[in-house]
Structure 1
Amino acid sequence: MRYVLVFAKTPHAKTPYDRWLAGSGIEPIILTTTEFAAGYAHLPHVHAFDDYDTNQLVEKTALGLARAHAVEAVFARAEADVVRAAQLRDLLDLPGQRTPSALAFRDKVVMKDHLAGGAVEIPAYRLLDSAYTAVEFIAEHGYPVVIKPVSESGSLGANIIRDETELNAYLARPWRGTSQIETFVPGQMYHVDGLVVNGEVVFVHPFRYLNDCLSFRADAWMGSLPLAPQDPAYDRLVKAAKTVLAELPTPAHTAFHAELWITPDDRVVFCEVASRTGGGMVSAVVRHAFGIDLDKEWLYAECGLPATLGTPAYQPAGGMWIPPTTGVLEHLPSGGEPDCVREVSLSGKAGQEFHGGVKSGLYLAGYVVAGDTEDEVAVNMDKVLAWFSEHVRWRPAESAGGTL
Structure 2
Amino acid sequence: MSVLILHRNPFAAFPYRRWLDGDAPGLDGGTPYAGDIVVLAARDKIELAGEEIPGDTGHDFTHLELFDTLDDEAVPARAFALAEEYRITHVIAHHEADVVLAAQLRERLGLDGAWSADIKPFRDKALMKRLARQAGIEVAPHTVPGTAQQARDFAEQHGFPVVLKDRAGYNSIGLSILADRDELEPRLARAYRDGSRDDLLIEAYVPGRMCHVDGLVVDGRTVAAWPSQYQYELASFGADPGPRVDLTLDVDDPLTPRLLALVERTLAALKPEGGRLRTHAFHAEVFHTPDDRLVLCEIAGRSGGAKIREVFETLFGIQLAVQVTRAEAGLPLPVVEGTTDDGAPLRPRCMAGQVLTMKRPGLVRSLPAAPDEEWVKGFWLFAEEGQVIAPASGSADFLTAAVGSAPTRVECERRLRALGARIISETKIVERPGDADATPAPHEQGTEPAEAS
TM-score if structure 2 supplies the norm length? 0.83
Cα distance between partner residues in 2 of 1:336 and 1:138: 47
**Contact kept in structure 2, 1:219 and 1:357, CA below 8 Å:** no
Cα distance, 1:370 vs structure 2: 2.2
Decide which of 73, 80, 89 is 2:90's aligned counterpart: 73
1:3-402 paired onto structure 2 within 5 Å: 3-22=2-21, 23=31, 24-34=33-43, 35-36=45-46, 37-38=53-54, 41-52=59-70, 54-174=71-191, 178-220=199-241, 221-249=243-271, 251-310=277-336, 311=339, 314-336=349-371, 340-398=375-433
Segment drifting more, 110-119 vs 139-148:
110-119
**Contact kept in structure 1, 2:383 and 2:389, CA below 8 Å:** no
AA aligned to 2:127 is V
**Contact kept in structure 2, 1:338 and 1:387, CA below 8 Å:** no
Cα distance, 1:333 vs structure 2: 2.6
Cα distance, 1:141 vs structure 2: 1.6
Which secondary structure does the structure 1 equivalent of 2:127 belong to? helix
| Cα deviation code 1:85-108 (max 9, x no counterpart) | 111112111111111222221121
Which secondary structure does the structure 2 equivalent of 1:364 belong to? strand
Task: Using the aligned pairs only, state the percent identity.
Answer: 33
| Cα deviation code 1:339-382 (max 9, x no counterpart) | 54220122222333334222112211111022232111111111
Cα distance between partner residues in 2 of 1:380 and 1:174: 43
Cα distance between partner residues in 1 of 2:395 and 2:427: 20
AA aligned to 2:214 is D
**Contact kept in structure 2, 1:337 and 1:387, CA below 8 Å:** no
Cα distance, 1:11 vs structure 2: 2.6
Segment drifting more, 113-122 vs 78-87:
113-122
Cα distance between partner residues in 2 of 1:126 and 1:353: 41
**Contact kept in structure 2, 1:148 and 1:158, CA below 8 Å:** yes
In structure 2, relative to structure 1, the CA distance for the partners of 1:126 and 1:226 (3 Å cut) is: same
| Cα deviation code 1:36-91 (max 9, x no counterpart) | 34296233321111022x11232222111111121111110101101111111121
TM-score if structure 1 supplies the norm length? 0.92
Cα distance, 1:337 vs structure 2: 5.3
In structure 2, relative to structure 1, the CA distance for the partners of 1:61 and 1:334 (3 Å cut) is: farther
Query: In the alignment, what sits opposite 2:446?
Result: none
RMSD: 2.3
In structure 2, relative to structure 1, the CA distance for the partners of 1:333 and 1:175 (3 Å cut) is: farther
AA aligned to 1:51 is T
Cα distance between partner residues in 1 of 2:379 and 2:225: 24
| Cα deviation code 1:274-306 (max 9, x no counterpart) | 111101111111112221101111122222322
Segment drifting more, 213-222 vs 366-375:
213-222
Cα distance between partner residues in 2 of 1:254 and 1:265: 33
The alignment covers a number of residue pairs equal to 400
AA aligned to 1:46 is L
AA aligned to 1:25 is A
**Larger RCO (alpha carbons 8 Å, 6+ apart):** 2
In structure 2, relative to structure 1, the CA distance for the partners of 1:252 and 1:48 (3 Å cut) is: same
AA aligned to 2:87 is A
Segment drifting more, 212-221 vs 391-400:
391-400
Q: Which runs of 4+ in 1 moved over 4 A?
A: 310-313, 336-339
Cα distance between partner residues in 1 of 2:386 and 2:76: 34
| Cα deviation code 1:235-267 (max 9, x no counterpart) | 110111111110113711211101001111111
